[in-house]
Amino acid sequence: MLKKSGSYLLLFIFIGGLLGSILGEILQVVAPQGTVQNIFVQALNLGLDPPVTVNLVLIKFTLGFLLKMNLLTVLGMFLGAYVYKHV
């Protein structure tokens, strides 16, 4: 039995979201074009695109991130939380 902690919950949610995203990418390739594919595969991109570059003469760094979520990602996150609760 797992000790129920916040870090394990985040891990289960992350893994569920990752599996949902992978399933969404596979579905995008194998499913025929149509409404069902658009509902499950259409992604929402959140983040910095293009990345922000800061030049401080001595050092130059780039900061950027992009979170790509679709419906299957969200369903996978909820499934991860459900599995965490019942394990």
**22-59: per-residue pLDDT in tens?**
998 898 888 888 887 888 888 888 898 889 999 999 99
What is d(CA 87, CA 74) in angstroms, rounded to the nearest whole number?
Answer: 20
User: Hunting for tokens 């992350």 — which residue is that?
Assistant: 14
Domain ranges of the chain: 6-86
50 prior amide bond cis, ω within 30 = yes
* Predicted TM-score (pTM) above 0.85: no
Three-class secondary structure of residue 5 per DSSP: coil
Q: Is the pLDDT of residue 2 over 70?
A: no
How is residue 67 written in tokens? 């979170």
How is residue 69 written in tokens? 């979520």
pLDDT of residue 1: 53
